[in-house]
Every structure is written in C-alpha cells, then in structure tokens.
Homo-oligomer: A and B are copies of this chain.
Amino acid sequence: MPVNAPLNRKLRMGLIGGGQGSFIGRVHATAALLDNRAELVAGALSSDPVKAKASAPDYDIPADRAYTSVPEMIDAELKLPADQRVDFVSVATPNHTHFPIAAAFAKAGFNVFCDKPLTFDLAQAEQLAEIVRDSGVVFAVTHNYTGYPLVRQAREMVMNGELGEINAIRAFYIQGWLRTRLEAENQKQAAWRTDPSKSGIAGCFGDIGTHAYNLGRFITGLIPEDISAHLKIFEPGRALDDYGTAIIRFGNGALGTVTASQISHGRENDLWIEVDGTKGSLEWHQEEPNKLLVRMNGKPHQIYTRNGGPYLGALAGVSTRLPSGHPEAFFEAFANIYAAAYDDIVKRANGQSFDREKSLYPSIGDGVDGMNFITQCVASSQQNGAWLKLKHDLCRS
C-alpha cells in the first residue's frame, strides 16, 4: 500500500519544543516517523532562539525551517507552497504554553498533536475546543497509553458487551522519581512539573493522574458524574501535589478510583488498570503491555497477548506491527496515536469528513475531560473531599 493512500505521500511534520534536554520531543519525533508515513521537516524547538537553532540538526531539520518562535513558524510555513508546508505540528512543550501554541496553529489551519494535560487550566481547554471545532483541524492529545494494542482490545471488549455492565474501575499510576526534590537540583523534567506557573494547579494529578483517569474513560466510555479527591504533598517544600487518590461516580452507578504517586520508592512507570463488569473482569499493566488478563468466575484465567490470535478484535489488529512474542512497547503505542490521527489528517486533506467524537485516538474532547478532572480534583481536595460535578458534554462514550 502506498504511503498514506490516497494522498500518496508522506505527511510533513513540525515539532514544537523538543530542544536539548527534552525527553518527550524525541518521543514525538520517533513515534511520528516510526511507520514511515511522515517526515520531520520543520520545528520551533525551543523558546531560546540559540537553542532552537542548535537543536535542529539532532532532528535532521534544515536550518531554514528551524524557527525561533511559533509566530515566525506559522508565518513562514503559510508562505510556503502547499506541497511543502507542514501538515501538522506536535506540541511538546510545558503545559502553560500548550494553549497559545495549539490555538495559533489550529486557527491557522494546521492539524495539531498536543501533549497532555491539554492546557494550563480548564477555561483554556474549553476555549481551545471551540477553536478546534471552528477550524476543522484534526486534533490529537497524546494520552499515549491508549495506543497500546491491548488497551484498545479492552475498549473493544467493553463496547462489545463482553464484560457486561461495568461496575468498577481501579486505575493507578505509581512512580517514585520525585521522592526527592529533584526540582531543587535543577533537573529540568522535575522543575517545570512542580512549578505552578508552568504545570498548572496540579502536580502529580496533572502529570500522571490524568493519564490513569483517561485510561479508564477510554476503555469503558463510562460517563463521569462527580468526583471526590484527596491530594497530598509529601516532599517538604514542594509546591504541588505528589500523591493523591480520587473517587469517581459514573452515570451508570459504577465506582471508579484513581490513585497516583510520584513518591513511591523504586516504582518506575507503573500505570495499571482493573475493570470489573458483570460478565468478566480485565487487568492491564503498562510495564508489561503485551498481555491483558481476562477473568471470569469458574473459568481459567485468560492471558490475551498482543497479536496472539483470532480471538482479538479489529482494533488490536490494526494497532500492532510485530508477531506475538516479539514485544512492542512505549514507542509503538505512541506511534499508534499518530497513525490513527494520520488517517483523519489524510481524510481531511482529501476533503473527507472524520468523526472527532469517535476517534480511535484521544481528541480534543478527551483533553477537556482531562482538564475537568484535574480542576475538580484540586477543588475537591481543597474542600476536604467534597463531591464536585464533572462536566461531560465533550466526553466520549
């Protein structure tokens, strides 16, 4: 199959952020290019102009398209012939810059991939949703863990009714790397994540709690009603939460819990989820992503494996590149978000419609949902765990 048929060419990518010292910029580039469906041709890699230029060779970006600011980039790209201009940009910058950058590109008609949490605060998120809707661009939020084949399989099983009615979701994201105040040692990743002026009102819950919440939402499509949360700062001197737990009541009566930690010694990136339905239960762990536990009372426990056989559904099938037993991992899942959004970008380029609410990739609605979660967790925690409503007009089901 030709690349991006019927477009029959690679998509052209622009990278925002990702300059020296960045972790996630490289991840975006690697994932976006993994399947050879795109090429990285331009970027605004840093807010520091010198660094922006100096970082370009790392990504093989030509000097003349290594921009030193977003406005400069938009301006220059719009002046390029349509067959050279970037098709999309990936926003891999700290949270507080997401909104102005993403909004500017969307308004200018560029498709956008944006890191999570979507924006600095909920108001920005809702405003951005309007901009995206009005502009008609494809907008993907890199809740990348939903790209794992067996997470998609889990969603398909819930949607098929294989688990029956969902009663309970338990989602966890346990890390330990912020056990000490790395931010006081000028570790770049720690510094902005613990700085309210860059990260927003939440620390741990903005950075990773929102992933755990999103994972449960993606798999089950349950509509949240209200939430009660308790966030803590355990590391003395830190400005934002580094631990917390939240309880969610869903519209169908189900109960969800989200627990996230950045202060659990030796825990690396331990995102996992358990889902209980009236007909069966699921369990999946990000650190061992190639298997999914499916259990039913009185039957042997089942381990579904990535590409393990015809028992898997269509979503898992389109989300994998290697035979079973040849493990796939983080990059591939991240690339699956890109691949699914590419399909919509191609559609848009060909004048076809696409369904933003039913996308396989997390879209603007999921981003708003995440900001809503963060906002109400912090508010509830400040009110000693009061139950607060979660909006759900943009929620996927």
* A residues lining the B interface (CB < 8 Å): 1-3, 8, 10, 23, 26-27, 29-30, 33-36, 40, 57-60, 167-168, 170, 174-177, 179-180, 228, 230, 232, 234, 243, 245, 247, 253, 255, 257, 259, 261, 263-270, 274, 276-281, 286-290, 294-305, 308-311, 321-332, 384-385, 387
Contacts of A387 in B (CB 8 A): 384-385
B residues less than 8 Å from A384 (CB atoms): 387
Contact partner of A266 (CB less than 8 A), chosen from B58, B259, B299, is B299
Residues from chain B with a CB closer than 8 A to the CB of A324 are: 268-269
Consensus secondary structure, chain A interface: loop
Chain B neighbourhood of A279, CB < 8 A: 265
Q: Tell me if A311 and B326 are in contact (CB < 8 A).
A: no
Neighbouring B residues of A174 by C-beta, 8 Å? 274
Q: Is B176 within 8 A of A297, CB to CB?
A: yes
Q: Which residues of B contact A3 (CB under 8 A)?
A: 57-58, 60
A265–B280 alpha-carbon span in the complex (Å): 5
Per the bound structure, the CA–CA distance linking A329 and B285 in Å amounts to 15
Q: Could you say which residues of chain B place their CB within 8 Å of the CB of A57?
A: 1-3, 8
Question: Considering the chains assembled together, what is the distance between the CA atoms of A303 and B303 in angstroms?
Answer: 8
| A49 and B304 alpha carbons, distance in the complex (Å) | 40
Q: Is the CB of A281 within 8 A of B255?
A: no
- Known interface pairs A2-B58, A170-B259, A177-B323; 8 further A-B residue pairs with C-beta atoms within 8 A, sorted by A's residue number: A230-B255, A257-B257, A264-B274, A265-B279, A265-B297, A286-B325, A294-B300, A322-B330
Also in contact, A245 and B243, with CB within 8 A (given A33-B33, A302-B301): no
CB-nearest residue of chain B to A40: B36
Complex interface: chain B residues within 8 A of A322 (CB): 27, 330-331
Closest chain B residue to A242 by CB distance?
A: B167
Which residue of B175, B261, B328 contacts A168 across the interface (Cβ within 8 Å)?
B261
Instruction: Determine the chain B residues whose CB is within 8 A of the CB of A30 once the complex forms.
Output: 34-36, 321
> Is there contact, CB below 8 Å, between B255 and A245?
yes
| Complex partner residue of A297 from B23, B168, B303, B309, CB under 8 angstroms | B309
CB distance from A145 to the nearest CB of B (A): 10
Interfacial chain B residues near A29, Cβ < 8 Å: 36
| Cross-interface CB contact of A326 among B33, B168, B294, B330, cutoff 8 Å | B330
Alpha-carbon gap, A169 to B210, bound state (A): 21
What's the least CB distance linking A259 to chain B, in Å? 6
Write out the residue numbers on chain B whose beta carbons fall within 8 Å of the beta carbon of A309: 297-300
